[in-house]
Amino acid sequence: MAVAQTKQTAQDTQGLLPAADLAATDASIPEFSKEQELAALRQMLLIRRFEEKAGQMYGMGLIGGFCHLYIGQEAVVVGMKLAMRDGDQMITGYRDHGHMLACGMDPKGVMAELTGRRGGYSKGKGGSMHMFSLEKKFYGGHGIVGAQVPLGTGLAFANKYRGSDDVCLTYFGDGAANQGQVYESFNMAELWKLPVVYVIENNRYAMGTSVTRSSAQTDFSKRGVSFNIPGSQVDGMDVRAVNAAAREAIAWCRAGKGPIILEMLTYRYRGHSMSDPAKYRTKEEVDKVRTEHDPIEQVRKRLLDRKWASEDELKKIDASVRAVVNEAAEFATHDPEPDPSELYTDVYR
């Protein structure tokens, strides 16, 4: 039960996130190689730039409805993904763009879905919250808070049923963690020893409600205790810490030991969705996290400190990522809307 005993990360005075200095000096976080750092940087930058672009395009009226940005939380999905292997699945809620990009889905197809065009992953029918790629083992993209948790548990059930040792990573938020179906899932997952990693992205808020106002037990890693599901809290702003925890957790599941919970301490910089002014928290709070914990800055700093990359090289990486994102935006702007005949297709097969 190594993972279960993973020590709790110390938190800063506001109880927001792991203390910055502590995280930086914590020797127990395994170092990344240069290649890993660069890979993580590229992935996280892709998500950040993509989301910034999506925010802009929303402002221009090219994207409608709800649009939930992942900015600030990039280390979680990237650290997890770097520990996955082919065949492992992923499922999440509506804050899903980062997950799709991490899964290797084409930014053009994702952005075109955001603009509701025929080249989108769901042919324009799903929008921001509802996208899938069976090829990349990404199972959505779900708009109803908590609903993905039994679904992810079911994906894990199928793995076990088929005798494969693939693992399903099931992501949900701190707010979603209060839904009843989460606990119904926990019980079945442990009862049947299903290979599912429950990744709770605790970004401290569910819309305008902070975890302390919604949750009797705010240590989400303990939410599996009464089901005997081990769990640990992880610094979700440090991609290395996420990755280390992910490796252990995935190995646990792959070995047939049943489900496991990883609570990722993270933070969203933007409002809940584009229409949320986020007045329920102070600017200082946001600024503090951005300056002290930014997941991308942490990697950049390490790369520079270790002289694994120069400012120039990092700029080049950023430029190439921007080029990918711009291309996606361009495509998503000019791709035509779905043909009207598509209204009635895909309801049944």
Ligand X SMILES: Cc1ncc(C[n+]2csc(CCOP(=O)(O)OP(=O)(O)O)c2C)c(N)n1
Please report, as ranges, the residues that interact with ligand X according to CB under 6 A. Answer: 95, 143-145, 173-176, 201, 203, 205-207, 272
Query: Which window, 3-11, 37-45, 202-210, 300-308, contacts other proteins (CB under 8 A)?
Result: 202-210
| Of positions 207, 225, 251, 286, contacts other proteins by CB under 8 A | 207
Sheet holding 231-235, edge to edge: 89-91, 168-173, 196-202, 260-265, 231-235
- CA-based Rg of the chain, rounded to a whole angstrom? 19
# of chain residues touching other proteins (CB under 8 A): 40
Minimum separation from the CB atom of position 35 to Mg ion (A): 32
Minimum separation from the CB atom of position 337 to other proteins (A): 4
Minimum separation from the CB atom of position 42 to Mg ion (A): 26
36 lines the binding site for other proteins (CB under 8 A): no
| Of positions 117, 137, 240, 302, contacts other proteins by CB under 8 A | 117
Query: Which window, 75-83, 203-211, 241-249, 321-329, contacts other proteins (CB under 8 A)?
Result: 203-211
Pull the structure tokens for residue 121. Answer: 């992953």
Pull the structure tokens for residue 150. Answer: 């039994």
150 lines the binding site for other proteins (CB under 8 A): no
Strands 260-265 and 231-235 turn out to be: parallel
176 lines the binding site for other proteins (CB under 8 A): yes
Distance CA 204, CA 278 (A): 13
Minimum separation from the CB atom of position 86 to ligand X (A): 27
55 lines the binding site for other proteins (CB under 8 A): no
Q: Which amino acid is at 13?
A: T
268 lines the binding site for other proteins (CB under 8 A): no
Burial of 340 (0-12, 13-18, 19+ CB in 10 A): exposed
Query: Which three-class secondary structure state does DSSP give residue 11?
Result: strand
The residue ranges of DSSP E strands in the chain, in sequence order, are 89-91, 168-173, 196-202, 205-206, 209-210, 231-235, 260-265
Could you tell me if 35 and 82 are in contact, meaning their C-beta atoms sit under 8 angstroms apart? Answer: no
Contacting positions for Mg ion (CB under 5 A) = 173-174, 203, 206
22 lines the binding site for other proteins (CB under 8 A): no
How many residues belong to the chain?
A: 349
Which residues are at the interface with other proteins (CB under 8 A)? 64-66, 113, 116-117, 122, 124-130, 142-146, 175-176, 178-181, 206-209, 213-215, 280, 337-338, 340, 342-344, 347
